[in-house]
Structure 1
């Protein structure tokens, strides 16, 4: 990763509660005169507004110029508009007139601020893609630890975009301390809590849905811990693990690039399962299988077209984490020939 990318991450992401979970993987010590982006405790709301959301997006017209035999011709498209970041002059997106800006301070701070109290605080916030995407994550101050030794922090994240890549999305999850992974809060169910609001003229009609979603974070910890316990009680033998790899990452018969990639992925997964401290404590269980696949996807899988932090954040707020963990358990369910998934959310 380039120094420029690391600089961007450290200047445009704020990481809280580092006294409890350690520094982010992209952390660099601040230079003299720089304001550090890591906070031992919660991130103050005012810092999120001042350091990240100090600018307001504005709308601009869409114009073009072209040459004809008669000279220069200028056209304006009345049906479209540009979304501009005024402090940098960047055009973040071009849309039809019906697109509605969801301002970061309003949709990611003001809505979330209504539920902050002594038991809920901002744990992370950031901008990605030049400010075209933003998120704020709310956490409880204390780390939860299950009897099986899984230390985690339940959270609710809010994210939105100015480039059309993301609806305003509010998503629950659990952050594992040992590996800085994000797991589905509804680990073994298909009923993860998620609210999406499109950038349309009727956006404000759905604000009550947002407030209902934000109110559930206190319910996450007990449900996640119960699912971890249940999955840790499901035995996965060496034979089962090999059969899982065969289904999850089959090796093509033909020699070539695809076969090499599959073999490398299987080797990486098996190394995590056998030796890595982020997975090995739960080796031989269904939870260990979920943890192996999740850790590989977050930290080792090749990332194309984006930096890893951006890809992981996008997976978290769009529900990709839920799909990842659910898919892992569905594959394992087929291998073990026993039900692992619960329909109850």
Structure 2
């Protein structure tokens, strides 16, 4: 089976997905580029095609509105894009963190290549953390990722990690605070992204303020059932139909005491416990072809979407 994660590096404990090469902390960007498999470039060339070979005037022609992106090291094609498409190089993703790690106390935590080079990312610790009651520690990170296959704009966002279970949750609150997206139709400007994200540094405090209140919001059995029924439902001809189901049952079991940290005061019988059960389900328990496919979904795909829906639903309980 083809792997979604082609290469990656990490520091500290082995990540929840169990993938990658371990590095010691405070390695230079150059080492990260090599060990994370990001020391190559995205090249581009015009789309060319051969006209009908049976025609007397057959020739190699160029389609001027499109170009092919390919890897400099393997020559493998990555995608076909418009001429307006602005490439963001794997090395640029790492270079984004150079001044943050050298002057602002950030530490690169993971970086790597997904889907044969179509998607690359790097994740760094910000140094921010909050200890909720019962020693439930949550740490702050910044994730920068891009894709050249049309699945993702270049995206910088604050991300939280619940240490007891390594569950990840993107911090996207009111008015998009905590996330900056740069479409590939425009030039990626790292400093502009940092400036815009810097305006949202208070997002961490706002996020943890709400997490604290979620940890204090007691939830009845009926409210918990309604939460999962709403979350695991599809719209069919105007009617919400629960996906009754193994996923819903598994998430409910995690909430009811089988999840990591489910017995902590912050999680047991609380709205935060509901949210934690979903992040754990997505990161650790949801069916996936492999752990690397699980990572891709949890950060960028359907898993990330379900986490955001769960965050919105749990925050609605505070209203």
TM superposition score normalised by structure 1: 0.77
Mapped to 1, the partners of 2:120 and 2:141 lie a distance apart of 16
The answer to whether residue 251 in structure 2 is matched with residue 269 in structure 1 is: yes
1:14 matched residue in structure 2: 9
Mapped to 1, the partners of 2:84 and 2:260 lie a distance apart of 50
Q: What does 1:162-241 align with in structure 2 at a 5 Å threshold?
A: 162-185=148-171, 189=174, 191-200=176-185, 202-203=186-187, 206-215=189-198, 219=202, 221-241=204-224
2:18 matched residue in structure 1: 27
Mapped to 2, the partners of 1:196 and 1:186 lie a distance apart of 12
C-alpha displacement of 1:290: 0.8
1:45 maps to which of 29, 33, 36: 29
**Local SS of the residue matching 2:85:** coil
Q: What does 1:1-345 align with in structure 2 at a 5 Å threshold?
A: 5=3, 9=5, 12-16=7-11, 18=12, 22-27=13-18, 37-51=21-35, 52-65=37-50, 67=52, 69-70=54-55, 73-106=59-92, 108-116=93-101, 117=103, 119-140=105-126, 144-185=130-171, 189=174, 191-200=176-185, 202-203=186-187, 206-215=189-198, 219=202, 221-249=204-232, 262-274=244-256, 275-281=258-264, 282-303=267-288, 307-315=293-301, 320=305, 323-329=308-314, 333=317, 339=319
Does the 8 A contact of 1:269 with 1:296 survive in 2?
yes
Question: Given the superposition, is the C-alpha separation of residues 96 and 250 from structure 1 closer, same or farther in structure 2, using an over 3 Å criterion?
Answer: closer
Mapped to 2, the partners of 1:96 and 1:295 lie a distance apart of 39
Does the 8 A contact of 2:157 with 2:171 survive in 1?
no
The unaligned stretches of length 5 or more in structure 2 are 236-240
Q: Deviations over 1:120-143 (max 9, x none)?
A: 111111110101111111213576
The unaligned stretches of length 5 or more in structure 1 are 29-35, 253-257, 340-345
C-alpha displacement of 1:217: 8.0
C-alpha displacement of 1:312: 1.8
**Local SS of the residue matching 2:32:** helix
**Local SS of the residue matching 1:140:** strand
Does the 8 A contact of 1:151 with 1:178 survive in 2?
yes
2:238 matched residue in structure 1: none
Question: Given the superposition, is the C-alpha separation of residues 41 and 146 from structure 1 closer, same or farther in structure 2, using an over 3 Å criterion?
Answer: farther
TM superposition score normalised by structure 2: 0.82
**Local SS of the residue matching 1:279:** coil
RMSD between aligned residues: 3.2
Mapped to 1, the partners of 2:248 and 2:300 lie a distance apart of 25
> More strand by proportion, 1 or 2?
2
Mapped to 2, the partners of 1:135 and 1:210 lie a distance apart of 15
Question: Given the superposition, is the C-alpha separation of residues 173 and 315 from structure 1 closer, same or farther in structure 2, using an over 3 Å criterion?
Answer: farther
Mapped to 2, the partners of 1:237 and 1:173 lie a distance apart of 29
Mapped to 2, the partners of 1:319 and 1:270 lie a distance apart of 19
1:342 matched residue in structure 2: none
Mapped to 2, the partners of 1:220 and 1:148 lie a distance apart of 23
C-alpha displacement of 1:234: 0.6
C-alpha displacement of 1:90: 0.9
**Local SS of the residue matching 2:255:** helix
Does the 8 A contact of 2:25 with 2:107 survive in 1?
no
